Amino acid sequence: RIITIVLGNSYYEESMNDPYLAYLGSQGILLSNYHAVWHPSQPNYIAMIRASKSGLTDFNQDVEGASLPDLLEEKGISWKAYIENYPGNGFNESHSVDKLYVRKHNPFISMNQIRTNSSRFIYIVNADRLKKDIEDGTVPQYVFYTPNMANSGHDTNVNHASNFLNNTFIPLIEPLLINSRTLLVITFDESSKYLDSLTNYNHIYTAFIGPNVLKSMKHEDDGWYNHYSFVPTIELNWNLSALGTGDDTESTPFSDGFFLDII
């Protein structure tokens, strides 16, 4: 099982200055040279499930064509997106009434092939559902989790996001992490200093955590990666077809072999 949680708007050094995020990085594999692909937010989320920005440069745009769920379904791999404060039922507005949910942080609803098909958008659910799915033993193999605008740190700060991880999210999914074939990926959508320098563009924190990360494997990986790396890695893990939508030649899988065959 792969669980990805996407936090919001923090540059790498800021994230590493947070004690809990630094601790999590030390307990797994810290990708110290990982980058978001754009500003504002939405293209980064699309990149994580399509290995392409798909021409998006702004908010609340729709995308035609296949994405990661198409490949997963083709192979019989279960998936679900747990989105905090999401109103449900294919909700397609830019934000919820309380503005804690925003469409731009829900890439699946932007995919035309999912949004227009009620048999598919049922796999986009309010994050409150995760607790019950854990209790019922029905958590899918691929999980994408988006905290709300406060818990992600977007409208608060990285310390708030870290506290959410430490006090709420990690304790919630702890029963899943007992499974030796579960991997948690913690990343950010973009850097708050996305134009800090041309050589360090959109540098963000990303770490792999889980029981399958053996003590002997814990280290810092300084290889160059970005959000495009998610899709080819997941394709390899489950032997999926290839989307073939990479925006650049850097759309390469993560190099650590432990990531593969975790199912």
| pTM, to two decimals | 0.93
Question: Residue 248's pLDDT is what?
Answer: 44
Please state, in angstroms and rounded to a whole number, the distance separating the CA atoms of residues 180 and 182: 6
Residues with a catalytic annotation lie at 155
Question: Residue 218's pLDDT is what?
Answer: 76
140-192 confidence digits (pLDDT tens): 999 999 999 999 999 999 999 999 999 999 999 999 998 878 999 999 999 87
Question: Residue 101's pLDDT is what?
Answer: 98
Question: Residue 214's pLDDT is what?
Answer: 64
Task: Give the per-residue SS3 of the chain.
Answer: CEEEEEECCCCHHHHHCCHHHHHHHHCCEEECCEECCCCCCHHHHHHHHHCCCCCCCCCCCCECCCCHHHHHHHHCCCEEEEECCCCCCCCCCCECCCCCCEHHHCHHHHEHHHHCCHHHHCCEEECCHHHHHHHHCCCCCEEEEECCCCCCCCCCCHHHHHHHHHHHHHHHHHHHHCCCCCEEEEEECCCCCCCCCCCCCCEECEEEECCCCCHHHCEEECCCEEHHHHHHHHHHHCCCCCCCCCCCCCCCCCCCHHHCCCC
Residue 243 near residue 68 (C-beta atoms within 8 A): yes
Q: Which residue has the tokens 């990986």?
A: 221
Domains of the chain in sequence order: 2-259 (3.40.720.10)
Residues of the chain with confidence (pLDDT) below 70: 53-60, 194-200, 214-216, 246-251, 255-263
